[in-house]
Homo-oligomer: A and B are copies of this chain.
Amino acid sequence: MAFRTVIIGGDAAGMSAATRVRNLRAEAEVVVLERSRFTSYSACGIPFLVGGLIAGGVEALVARSPDEHRRRGIDVRTNHEATVIDPDAGEVEFVDEHAGRIERIGYDELLVATGGKAIRPDLPGIELPFVHGVQSLDDAQALLGLAEAGCRRIVVVGGGYIGLEMAEAYIERGCTATVIERAAQPLHVIDADFGGRVADAMRSHGIDVRCGVGVDGFEPGAVLTTDGPVEADLVVLGIGVEARSELAGAAGVELGVRDAIVVDDRQSTNVAGIWSAGDCATSTHLVTGRQVHIPLGTYANRHGRVAGINMAGGDARSPGVLGTAITKLCSLQIGLTGIRLDEASDAGLDAVATTIDATTVAGYLPHATPMTIRVVAERGTGRVLGAQIIGGPGAAKRIDTIATAITAGMTLAEVADLDLAYAPPFSSVWDPVAVAAREAIKAV
């Protein structure tokens, strides 16, 4: 029998791995079991699809279709749902939904790339059909269909970024949108004062952001909150994403933080022959060295790639992650990398946060908008640990400079001295990132 790699899940992590194995090991059989009819799609694009920015329906979010993968020699089996992993037999049981039967397939190497799923709190009515996650292209199809069918009152439960992006998308469609957030501010990945600015920007855009409000349940046409019922034609879950790890867990694969599959830097699990990558797996944080569960498409792609190389017999390593992320919400861009001050404290690091206000471009240009940068650095050493940026157009992608500096282990003094690009349409003459670092030197 030929060497056979089986991959459960045909999205970013799974198909990155499949492509690597295919390219590195010509004789290998590469089988992908995918529950849906899609492969390699951009879930991050769903808000833009629903918002009407993208023509062509959900297919427009597909980077490479099952047929394209098949033409490259990958045996993609769509509508095939894996149901059991049997490490002792070296087999996976699955349901072939085309044929309507259960089968088993043997593997030499197995990748679990089952991804994530929207967190569904255990509340009365959570299973009502008007409550949707934003995770798969089937979700996308449903959400787009509702937008096109004239669905008018949208309630987003939870202030995670995909939920906030969806609220904005539906506003673009002429709907009303309400965000129900339990905490004092939405977007918990950033500090509360920055989250407050996001809430204000969204309110200015016509989105009803209600903070400090809990959800008690759902009934047809309404979300029941601690603040009374809120009428809704559609509920979008925006609480977050959890690892889809039950299958692996049941097979004895070790689960860790937030029930994500524990992997080492080669994407190997504790069970011989079983690998994992993507939203279902942990990563190692570059700053704290801790295992974290940060479900991002960037990690799915790169960790899938590493898994594929290793499954094919190579030796690749996943570098630690920084949780670098970016989003645009109404008039604001938000970027973050590394750790917040509270995370530094949790990790036992003695850190200081420094905040500066600047403008996105030279202040004398008419399109200059405010931008705020917060840098977190270790007291004593001055090592940069994290940063958040919030502001108008051009603000947030600057976070990459700080992500690069953190990766290189730079100190604030080194960041302050960086030779960054200046011209009036792009920056002030003292680049705001360098200004933030110089200001932070005084604090550490």
CB distance from A268 to the nearest CB of B (A): 18
Chain B residues with Cβ under 8 A from A270's Cβ? none
CB distance from A91 to the nearest CB of B (A): 32
Chain B residues with Cβ under 8 A from A323's Cβ? 419
A424 within 8 A of B: yes
Alpha-carbon distance between A362 and B297 when the two chains are bound, in angstroms: 13
| Contact (Cβ within 8 A) A424 B321 | no
| Contact (Cβ within 8 A) A405 B408 | yes
A160 within 8 A of B: no
| Contact (Cβ within 8 A) A297 B327 | no
Alpha-carbon distance between A286 and B417 when the two chains are bound, in angstroms: 12
One complex includes copies of this chain to the number of 2
| Contact (Cβ within 8 A) A426 B326 | yes
CB distance from A390 to the nearest CB of B (A): 13
Chain B residues with Cβ under 8 A from A433's Cβ? 400
A301 within 8 A of B: yes
A residues 292-309 near B (Cβ < 8 Å) are 296-298, 301-302
| Contact (Cβ within 8 A) A427 B397 | yes
Alpha-carbon distance between A407 and B420 when the two chains are bound, in angstroms: 11
Chain B residues with Cβ under 8 A from A425's Cβ? 48, 328
A residues 405-444 near B (Cβ < 8 Å) are 405, 407-408, 410, 414, 417-427, 429-431, 433
List, sorted by A's number, 17 A–B pairs whose CB atoms are closer than 8 Å: A12-B429, A44-B422, A44-B423, A44-B424, A45-B364, A48-B364, A48-B424, A298-B422, A326-B421, A394-B394, A396-B421, A400-B401, A400-B418, A401-B401, A404-B418, A405-B408, A408-B414
A-to-B contact residues, CB < 8 Å: 12, 42, 44-45, 48, 53-54, 60-61, 286, 296-298, 301-302, 319, 321-328, 335, 337, 362, 364-366, 394, 396-401, 403-405, 407-408, 410, 414, 417-427, 429-431, 433
